[in-house]
Structure 1
Amino acid sequence: MSTNKLNSPAELIALKERLEKNRNANKTVVTVCAGTGCQACGCEAVLKTFREECTKDRLENEVEIKATGCHGFCERGPLVVVHPLGVFYQRVKPADAKLIWEQTVKGGHLVNKLLYRDPQNNQIIKHEKDIPFYKKQMRIIFGKNGFMDPTAINDYILLGGYQALATALTKMTPEQIIDDVKKSGLRGRGGGGFPTGKKWATCRAIKVEPKYVICNADEGDPGAFMDRSLLEGNPHQV
């Protein structure tokens, strides 16, 4: 099998299995949100500090520093999550990154001053999933953002990526695909909300070849950042 190209669903499954086999489940992974909001708040300097500390302590085999897409909680950025503990830190500065490295990554202790505090009851919350902003959400489109480097295709494959594409290309007809898209209720994310299945069916019915699929990533709504956040965080999903 080519190292750069997958030729069948079986090869995709085999690659995923190899990635799972080689993954160290006990490895500490420090994820730093690198979405536009967190970049504006200085996440690049935070990332640089973590990487420098990791190199200095020669822990590259035990700890992975990962830049991820937008976590959604931009007002609290830069955001850092330490896995597998799942500890969520907010408004992290480079000096804080050194503290997190020493106390949490190396020592297994929390840095309380960087944890989220619920404004309703002043309660400290250490896990991202327990923060009210996230707790009431079912994250589908952005669900994988906090766990993968958007520039690393193997990260996405390890999370089950491209399985649906493999099924569509090998087991379904164009008509079946369009029918499924219609039934799903998928629509444009702009103000018009035009049904995607209807759009695809119209294009399919036109007797002209070749046909093209174009990703229009322009933000149709003033001040909106929906498309940008998806393309930054998980371009493979597009």
Structure 2
Amino acid sequence: MAASYVFLLVASLVALASSPAMARDPGPLQDFCVADNTSDVYVNGFVCKDPKLVKAEDFFFSGLDQPRNTTNKVGSNVTLLNANRIPGLNTLGISMARVDYAPFGLNPPHIHPRATEIQTVLEGSLYVGFVTSNPDNRLITKVLRKGDVFVFPQGLIHFQFNYGINKAVALSSLSSQNPGVITIANSVFGSKPAISDDILAKALGVDKKIIDLIQAHF
């Protein structure tokens, strides 16, 4: 009897540890917890505003239909709507983003450490992909056109590239109120202070002069 109890307990713990809910933002325990951006208290998320002070504007954003400026070195612009910009998203576990791409614009390889992303192309076409984890590092890609949808699993390196001569626009939903973003090149070559060129040269198997040249761009 005792052995059976121990087995059931262990199985339950394993099931809980592997549950998708355990890998997402904590679920809300009330109707809403509008972020109080004026609070000096630091918690995992944001402190709740007094419910009596909550208003419709806490759940509202206007202007996502407006084109963004893509005149930068990568030719893309991400407008992220998370709990920082829509306080009512706090504790609800979702966010979204509009991504504008100039002709041949790129959203560089990056990671969302806390969210899976599902993206819909609204205008133009995109070449998208993600890379599976070690040891396979398999590249999975697809050409998307208007109305197509693609999923980028949480924590995997992914990218989008507008290979056309016209602009492209996409809308993404993310499974976290604050998905975070780690742009691979910026993190590796633009850290402050910089990662030693000896370390990077050894890791990438190239001469230190090449590392110095790349770091100079960041």
Q: Quickly name the TM-score band, shorter chain normalised.
A: under 0.3
* Bigger fraction of residues in helix: 1
TM-score, scaled to structure 2: 0.25
TM-score, scaled to structure 1: 0.23
